[in-house]
Amino acid sequence: MEELSALTFVLLVTGGFAAGFINTVASGGSAISVPILIELLGSATIANGTNRVAILFQNLVGVSRFQKGGKVPWKRVLPLLPAAVVGGYAGSKIATSIPPEVMRRVFGVVIVLVALSVVMKPTAWQGSGAQRLKEPWLSIVFFGIGLYGGLVQAGVGFLLLAGLVLGLGLDLVSGNAAKLVVVLGVTVVALPVFVAAGQVRWMVGLILAVGNMTGAYVGAHLAIKKGATWLRWVLVGAALTAAARMLFF
């Protein structure tokens, strides 16, 4: 690969910042970073794999910042990891050989429904503390979300937030923190699959990660400071934007 120009470096860092910020406070940031990577690398599959490098470091920073603010609900989120991680591994294996376009369209519709739910039933997103999803449905749902995250990544945070807030009763701030923990777990098992398939360009991924990490830190800080009401409207805007891209572009 040719040496990156200064303009490309700036584009990766600024695009990564926007993606890291949006991914941390809502989801859909990969709708910004993946097109940049496709344009630069010339391959959707390599872009998908390379993006996971930035996602890994982004979530390490985001989880650390939420933990510092005392917002990570470890006891609620850790039991979800096995199902999500197994799903993530399976999805990443599929992603190295099968185009994910159909699944993107399906989940574009799901994300629209998530946004409408936030607008039409805002009280449901305040976090009741009560767990509505029980086993075996809890594991099935988070396996499915992990599967999608391993396959596509873009938009998985919306599905996680729906499961964590509506299913587990977390508030949006704690739900965002828990979301980052789950995505981190999925990425840890998915990234090596893409590496083994030769679908990761490390230099590009690490430059992008600089922006993602910075955006994640700022996003987590604002989420803790501004609270759930602010997050709800960020979530609506990000969800509709990401869904439009999945469905129409």
pLDDT digits (tens, 9 = 90+) for 148-162: 888 877 678 888 988
Q: Which residue has the higher pLDDT, 72 or 134?
A: 72
Contact between residue 235 and residue 115 where contact means Cβ atoms under 8 Å apart: yes
Domain that holds residue 31: 6-248
The mean pLDDT value for 93-105 works out to 67
Residue 73 lies in a domain: yes
The mean pLDDT value for 219-245 works out to 82
Q: What is the pLDDT of residues 174-195, one digit of tens each?
A: 999 999 999 999 999 999 999 9
3-class secondary-structure state, position 62: helix
Residue 35 lies in a domain: yes
| Helices and strands: H and E segment counts in the chain | 11, 0
Half-sphere exposure of 104 (CA within 13 A, CB side): 20
Residue 1 lies in a domain: no
**Number of structural domains the chain divides into:** 1
3-class secondary-structure state, position 73: coil
Residue 227 lies in a domain: yes
Please tell me the predicted confidence (pLDDT) of residue 180: 96
Which of 3-17, 49-63, 85-99 has the weakest average pLDDT? 85-99
Find all residues with CB under 8 Å of 67, minimum gap 6, and list them.
Answer: 177
Please tell me the predicted confidence (pLDDT) of residue 148: 84
Compute the distance between CA of residue 25 and CA of residue 220 in angstroms, rounded to an integer: 7
Please tell me the predicted confidence (pLDDT) of residue 12: 97
Please tell me the predicted confidence (pLDDT) of residue 120: 64
Q: Which residue has the higher pLDDT, 242 or 226?
A: 226
Residue 215 lies in a domain: yes
CA 147 to each of CA 28, 67, 116, 208, 240: distance values in angstroms, whole numbers, following the listed order? 17, 26, 24, 24, 22
* SS3 of the chain: helix, strand, coil, percent, to 5: 80, 0, 20
Place of tokens 């805002």: 122
pLDDT(127) > 70: no
Please tell me the predicted confidence (pLDDT) of residue 101: 63
Q: Which residue has the higher pLDDT, 91 or 196?
A: 196
Please tell me the predicted confidence (pLDDT) of residue 192: 95
Mean pLDDT of the chain: 85
Please tell me the predicted confidence (pLDDT) of residue 34: 85
Residue 54 lies in a domain: yes
Please tell me the predicted confidence (pLDDT) of residue 111: 66
Residue 214 lies in a domain: yes
CA 69 to each of CA 63, 64, 198, 224, 248: distance values in angstroms, whole numbers, following the listed order? 10, 9, 38, 7, 38
Compute the distance between CA of residue 246 and CA of residue 187 in angstroms, rounded to an integer: 21
Residue 100 lies in a domain: yes
Compute the distance between CA of residue 144 and CA of residue 205 in angstroms, rounded to an integer: 26
